[in-house]
Amino acid sequence: MTPPGEITRRQLLRRIGTAAFVAGPGAGLLSACATAGTGGDPAPTTSITASADSKNPFGVDAKKPLEVVIFSGGYGDAYARDLHEELYKKEFPGVSVKHNATQQIGTQLRPRFVGGDAPDVLNNSGPESMDLAALAAEQHLADLGVLFDAPSIDDPAKKVRDTVTPAVLDNALINGKELVLNYTVSHRALWYNAKLFESKGWKVPVTWTEFVELGEKAKQENIVLFAYPGQKGPYYQLWNVLYTAAKIGGNQIIIDIDNLVDNAWTAEPMKQAVTAWVDIQARFGDKAYFGLDHTQTQIKHLQNKVLFYPVGSWIENEMAKDKPKDFQYAIAPIPDVTAADKMPYGAIQVGVGENFVVGAKGKNPQGGLEYLRIMLSKEGARGFTEKTKNITVVNGAAAGVDLPAGLRSAADAQDKAGQNVITEARFEGWYKELFDYGTEQINVVMAGRITPEKFCANMQKKADAVKKDDAVAKQTRSQ
């Protein structure tokens, strides 16, 4: 066994997800890339020191091209192409910015990172998002501490870190270093059509009993009470189960899972959460949704064939072109599962998301840092909200922006929740192998092919394996 802290290059490549390239048509690619950097030690990370120039704190070469890769999902990519990249060009007239929008982040970017050809800015999101902990272990991610300590574009007397919500800084950390920028504020709960509820005279359920009763009413209308996408989106239901467990047992449930605490997945609140949702699927679900992707399922939701859909607040912008006039997105908290839930009704998950990183070994990491600084300006953040109808982490940037009904609903729900906020699970970014396994297993248990107890046991076994794997850098959180 490799001693703790000593990770071979082969192990790191496996963690990044490139092991699949070893065999088959990609073998030559991986072999060439693996020899390019020599033996087992990672190449040194580019060191960037802030300068005294508040207008160019990273010493960007104004003539050096910049490459930006954006995940073209719920937010699209126009915010980058038409806003942030244009602001960068305005700051450095004549500079060339290469824009690449894709939904295949892993497929396109894994071989590039391994080969030392990383983009300068990467929006690492979607079902093919890369393992950031593994990239960090290979020193592929630029240290963003220099960004957070740089002068804000709007007020050079303030550091960037003083202009964003504190959760940004907590979630930036991998192995104690600030390596990731989470750019958006998201609300994950159950989404529904407020106009349909109004027309039917239905009330949003507060208790699980009311939830089941509403399921019976919906069934009579040929409406599925609840559905999630079994293809390219089962992690929506994994999130939903995790946050239901936190609703029952408190945020410590998620903190323990993130910290790889022994028996965290087999804790009673986790079993209760999985059991509750498996029962809903069995009584009111439709197995056809296991074969649909997120877009297809969301279309069914817009057609009032699905009552509740577990997703985040990006949904409204993602489906803006398809949303009919008689559909009004609104957010509903998870109903009380038991009479003894630790978190009261109204608790919802509020977190930061949509992560961006700068390639430490890219051709222009200085430009990448400046690009993120522009994103964190009020002009950059407000423009993002106007284009995507989603709020960023920049304090006060959305003031006065006309928000759509669904986002207003989410903001109101956040206000009502107060301090009763369900924490965000972080193992998705810390231990992607565990998260990916969870997205597979959630389909299996929801389809009734294994019991909730077996699901929890399988997840615990996988978590234990990750915990024992010396190739995986371990992360911890206290809250």
pLDDT tens, position by position, 337-384: 999 999 999 999 988 989 999 999 999 999 999 999 999 999 999 999
In a domain, 96, yes or no: yes
Same structural domain, 174 and 248: no
Q: What is the mean pLDDT of residues 332-337?
A: 98
String of b and e for 439-465 (b: at least 16 CB within 10 Å)? bebbbebbeeebebeebbebbbebbee
Going from the C-alpha of 170 to that of each of 173, 178, 215, 258, 426, the distances in angstroms are 6, 9, 39, 14, 11
Same structural domain, 163 and 31: yes
Same structural domain, 338 and 328: yes
In a domain, 412, yes or no: no
Same structural domain, 81 and 201: no
Same structural domain, 75 and 116: yes
What distance in Å separates the CA atoms of residue 380 and residue 109, rounded to the nearest whole number? 26
Same structural domain, 156 and 295: no
Same structural domain, 284 and 216: yes
Same structural domain, 143 and 227: no
In a domain, 52, yes or no: yes
Same structural domain, 66 and 94: yes
pLDDT tens-digit series, residues 63-118? 999 999 999 998 999 999 999 999 999 999 999 999 999 999 999 999 999 999 99
Mean pLDDT of the chain: 89
Q: What is the mean pLDDT of residues 10-25?
A: 38
Element (H, E) at 309: strand 306-311
Same structural domain, 169 and 251: no
CATH number of the domain bearing residue 376: 3.40.190.10
Q: Helix, strand or coil for residue 170?
A: helix
Same structural domain, 133 and 219: no
In a domain, 417, yes or no: no
Same structural domain, 346 and 356: no
User: If pLDDT is split at 50, 70 and 90, which confidence band does 16 have?
Assistant: very low
CA 81 distance to own-chain centroid: 21
Number of structural domains found in the chain:
2
In a domain, 432, yes or no: yes
> What phi and psi, each to the nearest 5 degrees, are found at residue 306?
-130, 135
In a domain, 416, yes or no: no
In a domain, 158, yes or no: yes
Q: Which domain holds residue 46?
A: 10-182+352-402
Is residue 200's pLDDT more than 70?
yes
